[in-house]
Amino acid sequence: MNGRSRFDLRTLVVDAILLSLALVLSIAERWVPLELIVPVPGIKLGLANIVTLFALLCLRPWDALAILVVRCLVMGAIAGPMTLLFSLSGGLLAFLVMWLQKPLLNKVFSVIGISLAGAAAHNAGQVLVAGLVLSEPLLIVAYLPLLLLAGLLTGTLTGVAAAPVVRLGMEKGFWNRKLQNSGPGCARIAPRGKA
């Protein structure tokens, strides 16, 4: 695995930083009263999806999944079990769809396209779970179109925000460079071109 194990120190630190960022974005987006601008009940920007998208495209799927699941667990612990259920169902479905699209990046889909499908899958996952929890199929049919249309807007916004970061992450290749040990307990990143 390019000279590093699944749980090496750098991966752990990078994942932890991205997890913190995802949590801050999740909390911050609760302060944005988006439903006042776009009158769709339950609409959210989905800013934390930028982090999932970056981790999925620039790191490994395993890192993206770990960041996603831990974020949902922490948000669930803060906001309650219903939030956990909704964010996990939507998040996992979005992750699955975006992971399936990953091999088609830059051939069929751009980062915006992947974000768009992720947002649609996230909304669909949440509304499916809500319909199942309340045993009300009409809920799915009534809310899904509104949330799909809202997802076009939010998915595009998060995709536009993620695209430059993803491009930079992929071009610079920082994340895939090998670690060089330069002393006991000390690790540094290999200079460019020597990786």
Partner 1 sequence: MAAAGGESAAAAVRANRAAARTGWRQWLRWGDFLLYGVIAGSAVLLLLILARQGGAAAASAALTRDGEVLMTWSAAELAIGGAAEIDSNGYHYRLVWEKGRIRFAEAACPDKVCVQSGWISRPNQIAACVPGRLVLKISATKPGLTDPSEPDVVVR
DSSP label at residue 59: S
The CB-of-120 to partner 1 minimum distance in angstroms stands at 5
Task: Note the residue count of the chain.
Answer: 195
CB of 149 to partner 1, least distance (A): 5
For residue 30, the minimal CB distance to partner 1 (Å) is: 10
H helix or E strand, kind and range, residue 101: helix 81-101
* Token code pair at residue 188: 């540094």
The residue ranges that bind partner 1 (CB under 8 A) are: 35, 39, 41-42, 79-80, 82-83, 86, 104, 106-110, 112-113, 116-117, 120, 130, 133-136, 138-139, 141-146, 148-149, 151-152, 163
Beta bridge partners of 105: 109
Nearer to partner 1, 24 or 104 (CB): 104
Q: By C-beta, is 66 or 122 nearer to partner 1?
A: 122
> Min. distance of Cβ 182 from partner 1 in angstroms?
39
Q: Is 42 exposed, middle or buried (0-12, 13-18, 19+ CB in 10 A)?
A: middle
Is 11 or 123 the residue whose CB approaches partner 1 more closely?
123
Type of residue numbered 113: G
- Cβ-based nearer residue to partner 1, 9 or 108: 108
Going 127 to 76 to 101 to 157, the CA torsion angle's sign is positive
